[in-house]
Structure 1
Amino acid sequence: MRIIAGEAKGVRLRSVPGLQVRPTTDRVKESLFQIIGPYFDGGKALDLFAGSGSLGLEALSRGAEEAIFVDRARASVDTVRYNLRSAGLDQRGKVFRRDARAALRTLARQRARFHLIFLDPPYQERILSPILTAIAEQDLLETGGVMVAEHGKDRNLPLQVHSLVRFRNLNYGDTVLDLYSRDS
């Protein structure tokens, strides 16, 4: 697992120890970033259920100005911090050990808005639909932004959740990516 492009291109990323975290493969990550934009001119990213932080780190390397990483597992938080330092991106990343729903409530109170939101919870958890609803209701995705929900092929997410509209569905074996934008 590595950073594919940008200022930290080629940096190898540490995986979270154990079998609880399933990192997004480099092939899926490369395809995703070709679709959502190979490079960014600023903007903030939210990597919810961060795991190793691979998606948020890729966004930072490609030009996102800041990324917030949230995960409830100590091992994941420690791994993200290590990967940020290794990539030289630690000044632009903030890492929080929190439950996803609590983190979203805090971000909404702070009136945070994101250009990119990555959601990659464990496939066995049935949390994506309520998280999508919370993000839409709390207006966390800015106009022109993209939210990426990664899940197993056995799940179907709605085409629209309040102001969020799915505009793309990508299948990579057992991995599915649903891409949402705001319906302005």
Structure 2
Amino acid sequence: MRIISGKYAKRNLFTLKSNATRPTSDKVKESLFNSLGQFFSGGKVLDLYAGSGALGIEAVSRGYDQAFLVDVSGQACKIIKKNVDLTKEPERFKVIKTSDFRALKQFAEEGEIFDLVFLDPPYAKEKIIKVMNTLLENNLLAPHALVIAETDEHTDLPEVEGFELKKDHHLGRTKVKVYERT
């Protein structure tokens, strides 16, 4: 796995040698970012189930200002920190070892607002809907913020109030839905 484009392009990333995480393949990542516009001009990114941190690092590489990379696993956070070190700009990343809803509560208390959110949790359907509702309820999203929900091919996500489905990709065994805050 590697950074595909932007400032940190072609840097190989470390991944966990475990079944606990499902890294987003380079093919899926490239297709996703190409559909989003490839390059960006600032903003904050949240990857709530960061795994290796690849999606958040890719977003910063392509122009976002800062990424918050959250994972409940201590092993995952060690890998994320190693990957952040590869950027030589650790100040642009916050690696946080905590659970998803604890992180959201902390961000709400700190007044954080995100422009792009990646959601690829275990038990995807129920968790994604609940997290999206929590993001709205706690005012954690900028106007027109994008939420990227990644699931396996067998999981169907319903419409979510407060969001408009902008894109729906089926890439091999992976489904990626792009929602925009309305």
Shift of residue 89 of structure 1? 3.0
Identity %: 35
Q: Which deviates further from its counterpart, 21-30 or 120-129?
A: 120-129
* Contact preservation (8 Å) 2:124, 2:151: no
TM-score for both structures, normalised by structure 1: 0.94
- In structure 1, the partner of 2:133 is 133
Partner of 1:88: 88
Q: How does 1:69-108 map to 2 (within 5 A)?
A: 69-108=69-108
8 Å CA contact retained: 2:125, 2:155: no
- Which stretches in structure 2 are left out of the alignment for 5+ residues? none
Q: TM-score, normalised by structure 2?
A: 0.95
How far, CA to CA, are the matches of 2:69 and 2:107 in structure 1? 12
Q: Cα distance, 1:144 vs. partner? A: 2.7
CA RMSD in angstroms comes to 1.4
Q: Does residue 178 of structure 1 match 2:177?
A: yes
Distance 1:67 1:181 in 2: 19
Question: Which residue of the partner structure matches residue 166 of structure 2?
Answer: 167
Amino acid in structure 1 at the alignment position of 2:96: F
Structure 1, unaligned runs of 5 or more: none
Report how far residue 169 of structure 1 moved.
1.0
Provide the C-alpha distance between the structure 2 equivalents of 1:123 and 1:30, rounded to a whole number of angstroms.
24
Trace 1:51-66 onto structure 2 (pairs within 5 A): 51-66=51-66
For residues 124 and 138 of structure 1, the distance between their equivalents in structure 2, rounded to whole angstroms, comes to 21
The secondary structure found in structure 2 opposite 1:32 is helix
Secondary structure class of the residue paired with 1:160: coil
Contact 2:149 2:177 in 1 (8 A): yes
Aligned residue-pair number: 182
Cα distance in 2 for residues equivalent to 1:137 and 1:167:
21
Q: Runs of at least 4 residues of structure 1 off by over 6 A?
A: none
Q: CA deviation at 1:124?
A: 6.5
Distance 2:142 2:42 in 1: 13
Contact 1:136 1:164 (8 Å CA) reproduced: no
Per-residue deviation, residues 138-178 of structure 1 (Å, max 9, x unmatched) = 222211321101011221212223x2222211111211111
User: Could you tell me whether the CA contact under 8 Å between 1:150 and 1:178 is conserved in 2?
Assistant: yes
